[in-house]
Every structure is written in C-alpha cells, then in structure tokens.
C-alpha cells in the first residue's frame, strides 16, 4: 500500500490502461505537451507520444464528437473536458449521442468512451467555472456517471470505466486532487454502479459522494465526539444508482442526511429521499435532511463562495436536527 | 466519360430506385401508414455521385437524413428502409427506436446522427482519427445540408480534421433551403466551398444535379484522402424538390413557379439525358428498368407491411452494453 494523492491515483489508472491496451488514447485541451490543466497527464506525452496523448483545438464539440466517432470504430478514447462547465457547449454529444447511441442503434455497436471532467466549486472561479452539475448527467438513460471521493476509488473506478463498453462520464472534484489515501501497489478494479460504506455507524445514515464524502467524513469525526456514530454510504456512481446499501443502512439507523455539493433543488438528495420514502417508509423515524448548495450562482469572493457552498458545519447541524 | 458503361447504368439505376422509393414514402405517409418522412428527392445525383466514389461497405459513412440514395447504394434494402419508416423490428438502424432516416447500418460502416444538424461532422473527424491511429486505408464520407454549415459543430469538425489531416470528405448538399430559409439567410458568401479557405482544406463547388460531375469531384477528394492528403470540402448544388419533411407545407414559403422551373434540372432527368446522348440508355430500356424498380418498391412495401412490430417490452433495452451482450446471447 502506498499513500498517494487523488491526482496520482487518476494518473496511475490512465497510465496503466494506456500500457495495457493500445486502443486507449487520450485527447483534450492541454493534455499533451503541457500535461493537463490539473497535471493529471504530466509525462504521458513523452512516454506515449502525441498520437495517443493528443492536444486538441479549443473545441469541446470536436473533442467529444470525434471521440464518439473513434469509439464507434472500436478504439477506447478518454476525452478530457478541462472543466465540466465546458460540457454545456458539447451537450448534444454527451446526452444526445453518447447516452443514446446503444439504444438508437438498436444495439448494433457499443460506445466505449470515457469523458473525464473536473467538477466542483471552492477554488474561487465563480459562477460559470465552478458548478457541480453532476446530477443533470445522471438524468439521461445510457450514460454512466461516476464520481469518486477517495484515491482508492478514483483509481479502481477509472480503470473499470476505461474497460467498460458503456459511455462513462467520470467526474473529478477540483478540490480533491491533493487528497491523500491508501492505494494498493498491484492492480485492482472497483465495479461501476456499486455504492460503498465508507464509515460504519449506527445512529444516522449519511448518503453522499465526491466532495460530499470529504465533508461527511469530517463531520462524522466531530459527531463521534458527541457520541453520534454516523454511517456513511458513498454512492460513487450516480448512474447506475445502487440503493441497496442505503436501504440496509437506513433500516438500521432510521434516519438519513443526504449531502451533495450541487444545488439542493431537484438534486441528488431529492432522488435519494424519494427512493427511501418508496422503499423504506416503515423505517422512517425522522424527516430526511438534504444538505446542498444555496440556490444562487456561485460567487467569486471567498467569503461569499463559502457561504453558498455546503460546509462541514452544515452536515453536523443537519445530523443533530434529527438525531 | 472514363466510367465504364455498366457503372454509369448502375449509378443511374441507384438514382431511380431512390427516387421511386422516396415517392412511395410520401404516399405511405398520406395513407397514414408511416408517421414521418424526410425526402431526398432532388438529391439523387449528389448522393450517388458521392457514394460511388468511395469503396462501398469498406469505407465509413456518416450521413444525414436525406441520404436515402447513399444508404441504398451501400446496401440497405428497400424493405429495410420501409421497415425503418414503419418502426418495425427489422429496421436495421435501431429496431424501431431511432427516428426514420437517421440511418445506421453496421454492416456497411454507417453511423446515425442526432437531431441538431452537423452533429455527425465531428463523428466523421473522429472516425478519420481512428483510421489514422489504426493505420488502415479507409476514408470517411460525411454529408450535411448547407444550413448545417452555419453550426459551430461543423466548423469545429472540419477545422479539427484539417489540423489532424485525416481522411474525411465533407460533402455539403446545398439544396437552397434549410426548411424555409434560403442560403442568403445562412451565409454572406455565394458558395459553401468558399468556407474551405478559412479552414485550410481544398474546397470545390459542383453542379449537384450532374451525377458524373459530383462523382469526379468526390473521386479526386477520396483519392487524396486515401493517399494521406487530408480532408476536402465539396459543395454539390442542387434543389430540394419537396417540402423539408412531411411536417411542413412548402407552399407557405416558395412559389410553385420556382419549383416547376427547377424540375427542368431534375437530376434523374439530367442523368437520363446524359446516358441517352452517350447511347448507353434507350427509352425502351429505361421503361423496363423503371417498371422493374417500381415492382421492387412494391415488393419492399409488401414485405415491410408483413414484418412484425417490436413487442412493447423491447422499449426497455438496450441502454447499456451489458444488455446488448445479453440480447446477442439470446439470439445465438
């Protein structure tokens, strides 16, 4: 086991899959010579060459659209969006094409494409550069939406995503790249579409993913000092959504707090709580609490930004409202 | 004309088959037997000229919704086309899931496109990129209408293809109308081919009602692409002789006189005259060919009408690759 950063974990996954399968290639803005805006592909260009680590024009539709074309021929492109905020100018390719091609081709072809995108606020990049719009991609059938919250999961899930024959949107949170965690030395894969208990507990179930996991783990440490043991279910994948561990935990704790960084309105919390009401109604002992971003565009100023984003204190307060 | 006589006849037959099948589709729509039709009438020369320039079934095609003649020429059967319009299980595009004429045909390397125009253009660039990465000698033929060249997508695709120098032939079928909008509402230049100079690709404008002129232009572009010379842009100028689709009435935006005037340069008639002048086709041979094609079209409609619809439960798949594998296993 080595203790590495999320950035290193993602980079290792890409490197290993590039080494393993010559059909895998990377394309995006700045991914080659410069090594990526978040330095994930640093060193790749020198090792794998410009044909397989391709710098593209500033042309998100061309990046995603051409990756789809290449994937339909049997290659396995990993297309990088410098930020998920740039996905909106390539939205047709993501939700109208990638998500629907299996179905609209009646299963004639598979689309083994991974779109890596950096999501999330907290770096003072303001409203159009800091969004956490993960949930909208999970709304479209056909796309797999993966968003890891630990280096271990980041590596294992990305390797599975690259090997998957489905289109996968792989979301990296901008403030988690420096997070450190234990990662095995040898090869391992984590399954797509499986939730995971990241912390056992008995008093309340926190359902979360990505940056929300970081907030929730910190909140749980504080809550434990007051004798409250939170069980944390990390969704890891928003589509497909694995609810079984959530129901199992909820039937034990009878209380749930859902933590996401995106806006609460029509958010992941709404979906998760609706499903709990549908599947575990008899086990509900308290209202389900949803923690998320304030319903405003994310501001630039640090104090304003932190006010709008969910904080560890919000999670603690949310738990204490129902425990 | 350096093309063998039998090839010229084969091209003419491909145009006529597309025309007769297309005409039958309008009738099927009026009979209430299909929900939607989008027509390629007036485009036959542009399409047959382009598709005969590639190695059909070997090269890739990323078409648009008017490309009936292209699809027939790469091997979609008339019955398959009608099944697509009827939403039958045997629709080769998708088993009744995709909109009619948003073609895909895996066995001929044809892939489908989305509702916004020009989304297929970046796909074509990506296929070209894959061809280059694999080191094979295929080319990609991709088509749009002139209205689609207003899209950022289209510029992004041609630009990226030019940067990569990948083997893609971008054919623009300029039929003078984007639904009701004329080219002067789409662009401040006289020819789509002029856009090529800002993108660094060869651009040429040809008479899209002359199948052999289109063929020559496309053949040159295909050869260049196959030899590593990169992408090209070809505008084929023609006229859309029908409404945009079965959902609009073109009498609300253009005169009957204008349409009648353009019928004089109907590409099927132009080709027929050319073959007659070259003594390749006689009136009698034409009449026989036409009768045979009409019978073929009727047989296709009959087959499609008898073909089963999908069961309602089939709506639930295949969303993910796993379901495709399961379906393949159950058919095996």
Q: How far is B153 from chain A (nearest CA, A)?
A: 6
Nearest Cα residue to B70 out of B100, B96, B101? B101
Give CA–CA dist A287/A289, Å, rounded: 6
Nearest Cα residue to B86 out of B313, B317, B314, B307? B307
Do A23 and A167 lie in one domain? The reply is yes
pLDDT score for B331: 62
Nearest-CB residue to A107 (from B91, B134, B324)? B324
pLDDT score for B328: 73
Do A204 and A163 lie in one domain? The reply is no
Give the tokens for residue A296. Answer: 């405003």
pLDDT score for B332: 52
Please tell me chain B's helix, strand, coil percentages from 3-state DSSP, rounded to the nearest 5: 50, 10, 40
Contact A69 B112 (CB under 8 A): no
Q: Give residue B165's Cα distance to chain centre.
A: 24
Do A250 and A161 lie in one domain? The reply is no
> Is A190 within a domain?
no
Residue B97 has pLDDT above 80, yes or no: yes
Do A21 and A65 lie in one domain? The reply is yes
Tell me if chain B has a CB within 8 Å of the CB of A166: yes
Contact A103 B319 (CB under 8 A): yes
Contact A70 B111 (CB under 8 A): no
Do A134 and A201 lie in one domain? The reply is no
Contact A66 B122 (CB under 8 A): yes
The torsion of the CA quartet B236, B242, B244, B250, rounded to 10 degrees, works out to 120
Do A21 and A156 lie in one domain? The reply is yes
Do A64 and A150 lie in one domain? The reply is yes
Q: Over range B194-216, report the average pLDDT.
A: 98
Residue A267 phi, psi dihedral angles, 5° rounding: -90, -170
pLDDT score for B1: 63
Do A147 and A218 lie in one domain? The reply is no
Q: Over range B214-235, report the average pLDDT.
A: 98
pLDDT score for B116: 87
Domain boundary among A131, A150, A183: A183
What is the domain-level CATH number for residue A113?
3.40.50.970
Local confidence pLDDT in tens for the 323 residues of chain A = 999 999 999 999 999 999 999 999 999 999 999 999 899 999 999 999 999 999 999 999 999 999 999 999 999 999 999 999 999 999 999 999 999 999 998 888 999 999 999 999 999 999 999 999 999 999 999 999 999 999 999 999 999 999 999 999 999 999 999 999 999 999 999 999 999 999 999 999 999 999 999 999 999 999 999 999 999 999 999 999 999 999 999 999 999 999 999 999 999 999 999 999 999 999 999 999 999 999 999 999 889 999 999 999 999 999 999 99
Tell me if chain A has a CB within 8 Å of the CB of B102: yes
Least confident of A45-49, A223-227, B167-171, B179-183: B179-183
Nearest-CB residue to B124 (from A59, A69, A164)? A69
What is the domain-level CATH number for residue A289?
3.40.50.920
Q: B239 an active-site residue?
A: no
Give CA–CA dist B41/B220, Å, rounded: 26
> Is A189 within a domain?
no
More confident residue, B98 or A209: A209
Q: Can you give the C-alpha Rg of chain B in angstroms? A: 20
Do A86 and A147 lie in one domain? The reply is yes
> Is A188 within a domain?
no
Do A153 and A6 lie in one domain? The reply is yes
B252-296 residue pLDDT tens: 999 999 999 999 999 999 999 999 999 999 999 999 999 999 999
What per-residue string of b and e applies to A286-302 under the rule 16 or more CB within 10 Å gives b?
eebbbbbbeeeebbeee
User: Pick the catalytic residue: B13, B56, B226, B253?
Assistant: B253
Do A137 and A276 lie in one domain? The reply is no
Give CA–CA dist B292/B281, Å, rounded: 15
Contact A104 B102 (CB under 8 A): yes
- Which residue do the tokens 């008093």 mark? A203
> Is A191 within a domain?
no
Domain boundary among A159, A183, A207: A183
Tell me if chain B has a CB within 8 Å of the CB of A239: no
Q: What's the number of domains chain A is made of?
A: 2
Which percentage of chain A shows pLDDT scores above 70? 100
B40-89 residue pLDDT tens: 999 999 999 999 999 999 999 999 999 999 999 999 999 999 999 999 99
Which residue range is the domain that position A115 belongs to?
2-183
Nearest-CB residue to B122 (from A52, A69, A73)? A69
Contact A69 B152 (CB under 8 A): no
A146-164 residue pLDDT tens: 999 999 999 999 999 999 9
Q: Which residues pair with A231 in a beta bridge?
A: A205
How confident is the prediction for chain B on average, in pLDDT? 95
Domain boundary among A148, A183, A218: A183
For residue A116, what are the CA distances in angstroms to A148, A153, A170, B100? Answer: 12, 15, 5, 33
> Is A73 within a domain?
yes
> Is A143 within a domain?
yes
> Is A91 within a domain?
yes
> Is A52 within a domain?
yes
- CB < 8 Å from B in window 114-153 of A: 141-142, 144
Nearest-CB residue to B157 (from A62, A105, A144)? A62
Please enumerate in sequence order all residues whose Cβ is within 8 A of that of A144, keeping only pairs 6 or more positions apart, or say none. A161, A164, A166, A167, A168, A169, A192, A193, A237, A239, A240, B320
Do A145 and A70 lie in one domain? The reply is yes
- CB < 8 Å from B in window 7-36 of A: 25
């Amino acid at each position: 086991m080595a203790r590495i950063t999320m950035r290193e974990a993602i980079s290792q996954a890409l490197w290993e899959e590039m080494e393993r399968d010559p059909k895998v290639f990377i394309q995006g803005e700045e991914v080659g010579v410069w090594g990526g805006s978040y330095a994930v592909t640093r060193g790749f260009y020198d090792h794998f060459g410009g044909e397989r680590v391709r710098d593209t024009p500033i042309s998100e539709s061309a990046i995603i659209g051409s990756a789809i074309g290449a994937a339909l021929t049997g290659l396995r492109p990993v297309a990088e969006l410098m930020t998920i905020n740039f996905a909106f100018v390539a939205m047709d390719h993501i939700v109208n094409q990638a998500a629907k091609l299996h179905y609209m081709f009646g299963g004639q072809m598979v689309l083994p494409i991974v779109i890596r995108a950096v999501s999330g606020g907290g770096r003072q990049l303001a409203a159009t550069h800091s969004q956490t719009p993960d949930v909208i991609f999970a709304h479209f059938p056909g796309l797999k939406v993966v968003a890891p919250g630990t280096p271990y999961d980041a590596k294992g899930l990305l390797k599975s995503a690259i090997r998957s024959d489905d289109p996968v949107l792989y979301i990296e949170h901008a403030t988690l790249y420096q997070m450190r965690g234990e990662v095995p030395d040898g090869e391992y894969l984590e399954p797509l579409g499986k939730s995971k208990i990241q912390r056992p507990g008995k008093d309340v179930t926190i359902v979360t993913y990505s940056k929300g996991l970081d907030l929730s783990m910190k909140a749980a440490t504080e809550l434990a000092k007051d004798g409250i043991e939170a069980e944390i279910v990390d969704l890891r994948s928003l589509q497909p959504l694995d609810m079984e561990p959530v129901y199992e935990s909820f039937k034990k704790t009878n209380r749930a707090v859902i933590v996401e960084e995106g806006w609460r309105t029509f958010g992941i919390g709404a979906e998760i709580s609706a499903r709990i009401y549908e599947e575990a109604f008899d086990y509900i002992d308290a209202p389900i609490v949803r923690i998320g971003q304030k319903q405003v565009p994310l501001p630039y100023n640090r104090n304003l930004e932190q006010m709008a984003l969910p904080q560890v204190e919000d999670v603690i307060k949310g738990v204490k409202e129902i425990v | 004309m350096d093309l063998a006589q039998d090839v010229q006849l084969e091209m003419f037959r491909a145009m006529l088959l597309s025309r007769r099948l297309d005409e039958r589709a309008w009738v099927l729509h009026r009979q209430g037997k299909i929900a939607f039709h989008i027509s390629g009438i007036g485009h036959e020369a542009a399409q047959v000229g382009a598709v005969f320039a590639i190695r059909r079934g070997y090269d890739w095609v990323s078409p648009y919704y008017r490309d009936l003649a292209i699809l027939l020429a790469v091997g979609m059967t008339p019955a398959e086309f009608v099944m697509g319009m009827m939403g039958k299980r045997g629709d080769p595009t998708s088993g009744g899931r995709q909109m009619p004429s948003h073609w895909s045909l895996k066995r001929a390397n044809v892939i489908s496109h989305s509702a916004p125009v020009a989304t297929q253009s970046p796909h074509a660039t990506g296929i070209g990129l894959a061809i280059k990465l694999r080191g094979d000698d295929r080319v990609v033929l991709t088509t749009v209408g002139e209205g689609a060249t207003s899209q950022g997508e289209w510029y992004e695709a041609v630009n990226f293809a030019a940067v990569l120098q990948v083997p893609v032939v971008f054919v623009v079928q300029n039929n003078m109308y984007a639904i009701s909008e004329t080219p002067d509402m789409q662009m401040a230049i006289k020819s789509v081919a002029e856009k090529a100079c800002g993108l660094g690709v060869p651009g040429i404008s040809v008479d899209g009602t002359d199948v052999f002129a289109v063929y020559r232009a496309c053949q040159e572009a295909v050869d260049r692409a196959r030899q590593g010379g990169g992408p090209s842009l070809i505008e084929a100028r023609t006229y859309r002789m029908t409404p945009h689709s079965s959902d609009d009435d073109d009498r609300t935006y253009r005169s009957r006189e204008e349409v009648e005037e353009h019928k004089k340069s109907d590409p099927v008639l132009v080709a027929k005259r050319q073959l007659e002048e070259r003594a390749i086709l006689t009136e009698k041979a034409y009449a026989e060919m036409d009768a045979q094609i009409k019978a073929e079209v009727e047989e296709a409609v009959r087959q499609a009408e008898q073909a089963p619809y999908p069961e309602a439960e089939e709506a639930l798949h295949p969303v993910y690759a796993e379901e495709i594998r399961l379906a393949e296993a159950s058919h095996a």
